[in-house]
Structure 1
Amino acid sequence: MTRHFKVREAREGDVAQLAEGFYAFEVRSVFIEPFDGSDLIESTLAVPYEKIYDFDATSLKEHIGNAEAALFVVDDLDFRPRGYIAVSHFWNGYASIDDLAVDLSLRRLGAAKLLMNAAANWAQQEGLAGLRLETQNNNVAACKFYKQYGFILGGYDQYLYSGIQTEKAETALFWYLRFL
């Protein structure tokens, strides 16, 4: 169900409001090998846990007013930004989705799709070949969203996070959406 939220380019003051959002999620399952791009295999965890991403205000601010990047926000019905997508030019001619997060209050209501549409429109206007992004095998809901949106799994890296994680091994999954 898509509500009529407004997506717009971010302004400097939006980042402070975005920092108030709740972007964590509960990990109840993960995708396991083989990561061959067809049907991913989902495995339920015996003990679910909460995944918390760091909010990087500095990085988001760098997307505002940047000729090779953009930051879009989705406002809730009270006109407060409650989700965002940061996009930039990537070295391979694609647009990189550098960050995408939606507050718990707007999840499963179409906000992520509206944000992705804004990023795709921006990338097409920039003359880029498509969109690319990276997420982890424990972000099952995001992976399902990307696949439903039309992205294909282009590869994975099981060692990308091995230097910073000790207890919960994550595999990086790389997704691509090519414009025709």
Structure 2
Amino acid sequence: MNSAEEITIFPLQNELIKDINNTNDSFKVFGKIVPIFQSGKWSFEEKLFNETQEIRFPDDQLDWSQYINQEDKALFLAYKDTKSIGQIRITKDWNHFCYIENIAVKKEFRGYGIGKLLLSKAEEWAKQRDLIGMSLETQDDNLGACRFYVIQGFLLGGVDTLKQSYNPNIETTLYWYKLFK
């Protein structure tokens, strides 16, 4: 693939529902974020692991029709030709942020700007609804995703050490925010 210019992004329609979970590929876990709260601001350090693991989240099983032609939520799919290669699922949150429920790009299309295109689509959607920014959460061990969000202008805004208590592999949930200027 040469560039993200060959990509089209469509809002979810009934005929596209079959493609949603096609974008759910595994990803590498190679380090974690260690959050630091000092003088009222969050920062972080990175800690690389000695070994890399591949992780894949289970496919989401939602009523996808709830994301079609809705004012308060949407799902956009990225395609190269007729192949679904990425998705972003968003909702209008109570705090006037566009909450990103999920963003995924097929493994072989990562690094080509697809995630950035999907975030831009979400930002456009959010601004049309007069929202003040975008927010999302990651686990502390998803360093690749965290690095991506930082590059896209997200700031660490909070940490929760109890949310993932059922999962012994995840110590901390991180909350990221991008405010619109």
Normalising by structure 2, we get a TM-score of 0.88
In the alignment, the residues of structure 1 paired with residue 57 and residue 65 of structure 2 have an alpha-carbon distance, to the nearest angstrom, of 17
Q: Please list every run of 5 or more consecutive structure 1 residues that lacks an aligned counterpart in the other structure.
A: none
In the alignment, the residues of structure 1 paired with residue 55 and residue 66 of structure 2 have an alpha-carbon distance, to the nearest angstrom, of 25
In the alignment, the residues of structure 2 paired with residue 172 and residue 59 of structure 1 have an alpha-carbon distance, to the nearest angstrom, of 26
RMSD: 1.8
In the alignment, the residues of structure 1 paired with residue 66 and residue 26 of structure 2 have an alpha-carbon distance, to the nearest angstrom, of 23
Residues 14 and 124 of structure 1: CA distance in aligned 2, closer, same or farther (over 3 Å):
same
Alignment of 1:48-67 (within 5 A): 48-58=52-62, 60-67=64-71
1:120 corresponds to which of 90, 114, 123: 123
Q: What does residue 6 of structure 1 align with? A: 8
Q: What does residue 27 of structure 1 align with? A: 29
Bigger Cα displacement from structure 2, 60-69 vs 96-105: 60-69
SS at match of 1:20: helix
Q: Which amino acid aligns with 1:128?
A: L
In the alignment, the residues of structure 1 paired with residue 133 and residue 23 of structure 2 have an alpha-carbon distance, to the nearest angstrom, of 29
In the alignment, the residues of structure 1 paired with residue 145 and residue 180 of structure 2 have an alpha-carbon distance, to the nearest angstrom, of 20
Is 1:81 aligned with 2:84? yes
Higher strand content, 1 or 2: 2
Contact 1:137–1:173 (8 Å) recurs in 2: yes
In the alignment, the residues of structure 1 paired with residue 96 and residue 24 of structure 2 have an alpha-carbon distance, to the nearest angstrom, of 32
Displacement, 1:145?
1.2
Q: Please list every run of 5 or more consecutive structure 2 residues that lacks an aligned counterpart in the other structure.
A: none
Q: Which amino acid aligns with 2:26?
A: A
Normalising by structure 1, we get a TM-score of 0.89
Q: What does residue 150 of structure 2 align with? A: 147
1:109 corresponds to which of 93, 97, 112: 112
In the alignment, the residues of structure 1 paired with residue 74 and residue 13 of structure 2 have an alpha-carbon distance, to the nearest angstrom, of 10
Bigger Cα displacement from structure 2, 47-56 vs 118-127: 47-56
Bigger Cα displacement from structure 2, 48-57 vs 139-148: 48-57
Contact 1:14–1:81 (8 Å) recurs in 2: no
Displacement, 1:22?
4.2
Contact 1:15–1:57 (8 Å) recurs in 2: no
In the alignment, the residues of structure 2 paired with residue 60 and residue 105 of structure 1 have an alpha-carbon distance, to the nearest angstrom, of 25
Deviation string 1:60-85 (CA, Å, 9 cap, x unpaired) is 44222222111111102x32221100
Count of matched residue positions in the alignment of Structure 1 and Structure 2: 176
Alignment of 1:165-176 (within 5 A): 165-166=167-168, 168-176=169-177
Q: What does residue 178 of structure 2 align with? A: 177
Q: Which amino acid aligns with 1:169?
A: I
Displacement, 1:59?
5.1
